[in-house]
A and B are shown apart, each in its own frame.
Chain A
Amino acid sequence: MTALAAERLTRRFGHGRRAHTAVDAVDVEFPAGSRTGIVGESGSGKSTLGLMLVGLDRPNGGRVLVDGDDLAPRMRTQAGRRAFRREVQLIAQDTSSSFDPLRTLRDALRTPARQLVGLSIDEADARIAETLGMLGIDPAFADRYPHEVSGGQRQRFAIARALVVRPGFVVCDEVVSALDVSVQGQVLNSLKRYCAQTGAGLAFISHGLPATAFISDRLVVMYRGVVVEQGPTERVIAEPEHPYTRHLLNAHRGPGFEEHRAEVLAGSEPLVPASEPSAGIAREVTR
């Protein structure tokens, strides 16, 4: 159970005339156990906000608060960083580079278990098996190299890598955007279930409104580095206050929105996740 908060958080890139403010004095609270969706178009600063929340990017102004304490001093020591990362984890968008191509997936999962939780190799492997089971991943995949599994599998491993330390707060950055609709549902369900079971908080960053609406109980709408609207998900969707939010909703409500939403929800139906047939993986690998 960890609470995060952004306080007047600001991030600028470049200097002088080329300077560009990606995140501009953003105030958002992420109470313990809450699931917050952050939506906005690309370039709205939502990913930069996410990076600052997990301490991978340093703000030019403002603070990140962890359970009420300033994050910056904690990040100065190795011990402080590790303690923080045991509590707050990031799941980034899947790219072919989310895992070191020269190391097995198990290797990537062992690192947080050993360095952050302090488990021995055997304990770490037990924890990994448990986590993979929780996410419905075939443990046999763990000994493969990243390029030997499909993008969907890789993304689930990325989630497993974050959850293996049992964090109290998870920041997800576009975790389902690159996935097939059916896989999206499974991934979203796994995340939602983890939060429900452990009471962990969630910040779900995405440009896809249906998925965000599905998983979050609060919505934060960002536009050009500024939070234009935030509130309970149902309220924001039903009665958007800011014109940009309305614009965003309309864009999604175009032809196909309801179908898409239905599809996502339908894809999430099998709560016992189906293990992927290996033929399908082979096909995806060769692609």
Chain B
Amino acid sequence: MTATTEPTATTAPTTTPQATVTTKTTDARPRRRVIWWRLVPAAVLAVLALIGPFITPYPATRVSGTSGTAPGAEYWFGTDSTGLDVFSQTLAATQLNVFIAVSVVLLATLIGVVLGLAIGMNESRPGPGGLTARGTGRIVDFVQAVPSVIVGLVLVSFFGASIGTIVVAIAVILAPIQVRLVRAEVLRVRGEAYLDAARMAGTSELVLTLRHVLPNSVRPAVANMSVLFGVSVILTAALGFLGAGLPPPTAEWGAMIARGATDAAVGRWWPGAFPALALVLAVAAVSLAFSAFPRAGSRR
């Protein structure tokens, strides 16, 4: 019925579990149904990402008109200073930007869940295991201490600007957020009585972690994926903006906005404005889609 399309890995009942709700929520009662219309913009985004590059009116990476043409009937979003059609570029870039962002979010969350579980379950343990866990926790904190754009810049400059590098670099930057979220939840869950009960039932620590700790700890990280999507779209674009993105003439929103900056200074707003608008709309669409699902109030 309703919960089948929920993107969480858990087989959560449609009603929210009691333990997580009671502490929070200023709202009267948690919503239980999926609000379908909120998924529509994200669905449109997904379709555009899939077919975007194939339906552009002009080639996205080749000159197709006089440079600096204002938006009009022929060039809907105008042309940029090199004569590329802004509409075609913006549309074609959707695929790349969405692909990178989705990969980043999945990879960062995967790292976050694995490390968060490992650190949270072991950090208070004596001996080398606990030491390793605490050490890893500190390193994760450090990565978060350094401005993310700069870490991304350095990583991409080292390992070359390719889609793979960009995805890994941004995922590494964003993973600490997920690690912290999962770890905090693990620390909460670790004290729950049902873990001791499962131990009494003969469950091994590994199975215990996977069957009981994991499903009860991932919610905040999963809810945070919508925020991460936005951040990773913006970080990708920021790297592109600083010249650490994919080499031109690859259509990518950040690089387009960077090139649009010079146009903006001479009064041509369209080469920068449309990719920026696309970026904002994509982020908003995903954020709206996440808000369609019922969830126990998460703090951030």
Contact = CB atoms under 8 A, between A and B. Distances in A.
Given A100-B212, A102-B216, A111 B15 contact: no
B202 A116 contact: yes
Interface string B1-28: 0000000001111010111101000000
Given A102-B10, A116-B202, 4 more contacts: A108-B201, A112-B200, A115-B203, A145-B13
Given A98-B193, A145-B13, A54 B200 contact: yes
B202 A82 contact: yes
B192 interface: yes
B198 interface: yes
Nearest to B205: A78
Contact of B201 (A78, A96, A97, A112): A112
A246 to B, nearest CB: 34
Contact of B193 (A95, A115, A116): A95
B200 A90 contact: yes
Given A78-B204, A85-B201, A101 B196 contact: no
Contacts, number: 78
Nearest to A93: B193
B54 interface: no
Contacts of B212: 100, 103
A161 interface: yes
Interface of B: 10-13, 15, 17-20, 22, 192-194, 196-204, 212, 215-216
B19 A96 contact: yes
A97 B192 contact: yes
A162 B200 contact: yes
A158 B19 contact: no
B194 A98 contact: yes
Interface in A128-156: 145-148
Interface of A: 54, 56, 78, 81-82, 85-86, 89-90, 92-93, 95-103, 108, 111-112, 115-116, 145-148, 158, 161-162
A251 to B, nearest CB: 28
A56 B196 contact: yes
A115 B204 CA distance: 10
A277 B298 CA distance: 35
User: Which has the most chain B C-beta neighbours within 10 Å: A82, A103, A161?
Assistant: A103
Nearest to A90: B200
Contacts of A161: 197, 201
A217 B96 CA distance: 74
Given A54-B200, A90-B196, A100 B15 contact: no
B13 A56 contact: no
22 contacts: A56-B199, A82-B202, A85-B202, A89-B200, A90-B197, A90-B200, A98-B194, A98-B197, A99-B194, A99-B197, A100-B212, A102-B11, A108-B194, A108-B201, A111-B198, A112-B200, A112-B201, A145-B17, A146-B18, A147-B15, A147-B18, A162-B200
Nearest to B200: A90
Contacts of A98: 193-194, 197
Given A102-B10, A102-B11, A112-B202, A97 B17 contact: no
Contacts of B12: 102
B298 to A, nearest CB: 16
Contacts of A93: 193
B197 A92 contact: yes
B121 to A, nearest CB: 16
A147 B17 contact: yes
B17 to A, nearest CB: 3
Contact of A92 (B10, B11, B196, B201): B196
Contacts of A81: 202
